[in-house]
A and B are shown apart, each in its own frame.
Chain A
Amino acid sequence: MSMLRGFLTLVLCFMLGEALRLVFLIPVSGGVLGMILMTITLMLKGSVSDDLATASQGLISVLVLLIMPGVVGVFFSADQFSGQWLAVSVALLVGTFLSVLPTLLLMASLVRAGQRRASDD
Chain B
Amino acid sequence: MTDLPERFLALPNTLSASPILAIGLTLGAFFAGNWLFRRMGRPLWLPPVVLSAFLLSATIALLSLDYTRYQQGAQWLMLLLGPATVALGIPLYQQMHHVRALWRPILCTLPVAATLAAVYAVVIAWALGATPLVLASLAPKSVTAPIAIGITEQLGGSVPLMMGGLLVTGVVATLFVDLLSRVLSITDDRILGFALGLNGHAVGTARAFEISRTAGAFASLGMGLTGVFTALILPLAFRLW
Q: Is B9 an interface residue (CB 8 A)?
A: no
- The binding surface of chain B is classed by DSSP as helix
Q: How many residues of B contact A (CB 8 A)?
A: 99
B105 touches A110 (CB 8 A): yes
A10 touches B57 (CB 8 A): no
Which chain A residues in 31-57 approach chain B with CB under 8 Å?
Answer: 31-32, 34-39, 42-43, 48, 52-53, 55-56
Instruction: Give the CA-CA distance A69 to B69 in the complex, in Å.
Output: 12
B residues near A17, Cβ cutoff 8 Å? 86
Q: How many residues of A contact B (CB 8 A)?
A: 73
A87 touches B56 (CB 8 A): no
Could you say which of A43, A75, A100, A105 contacts B93, with CB atoms under 8 Å apart?
A: A43
Given contacts A66-B78, A71-B164, A92-B168, contact A104 B181 (CB under 8 A): yes
Given contacts A52-B90, A68-B52, contact A106 B173 (CB under 8 A): no
B90 touches A71 (CB 8 A): no
B residues near A1, Cβ cutoff 8 Å? none
Contact indicator per residue, chain A 60-94, by CB within 8 Å of chain B (1) or not (0): 10111111111111111100110010111111111
Chain B residue nearest to A53 in the complex (CB): B90
A72 touches B53 (CB 8 A): yes
Chain B residue nearest to A7 in the complex (CB): B83
B residues near A114, Cβ cutoff 8 Å? 102, 104-105
Instruction: Give the CA-CA distance A39 to B240 in the complex, in Å.
Output: 28
Could you say which of A63, A94, A99 contacts B84, with CB atoms under 8 Å apart?
A: A63
- The binding surface of chain A is classed by DSSP as helix
Q: Is B11 an interface residue (CB 8 A)?
A: no
Q: Is B159 an interface residue (CB 8 A)?
A: yes
A residues near B49, Cβ cutoff 8 Å? 64, 67-68, 71
B57 touches A72 (CB 8 A): yes
Could you say which of A31, A92, A110 contacts B150, with CB atoms under 8 Å apart?
A: A31
- Tally of contacts, chain A with chain B, CB under 8 A: 300
Q: Is A98 an interface residue (CB 8 A)?
A: yes
Chain B residue nearest to A73 in the complex (CB): B160
B88 touches A60 (CB 8 A): yes
B164 touches A74 (CB 8 A): yes
Chain B residue nearest to A39 in the complex (CB): B89
A94 touches B77 (CB 8 A): no
Q: List 28 A-B contacts (CB under 8 A).
A: A28-B154, A30-B82, A30-B150, A31-B83, A32-B147, A35-B88, A35-B92, A35-B227, A38-B86, A38-B89, A55-B87, A65-B27, A65-B30, A65-B77, A66-B77, A66-B81, A73-B159, A74-B164, A91-B121, A91-B125, A92-B141, A92-B172, A98-B120, A100-B180, A101-B176, A103-B113, A103-B198, A107-B113
Given contacts A63-B84, A93-B172, A96-B121, list 10 more A-B pairs with CB under 8 A.
Answer: A28-B235, A32-B232, A38-B89, A72-B56, A86-B128, A88-B161, A100-B195, A107-B113, A107-B194, A114-B105
* A residues at B contact (CB < 8 Å): 7, 10-11, 13-14, 17-18, 27-32, 34-39, 42-43, 48, 52-53, 55-56, 59-60, 62-77, 80-81, 84, 86-108, 110-111, 114
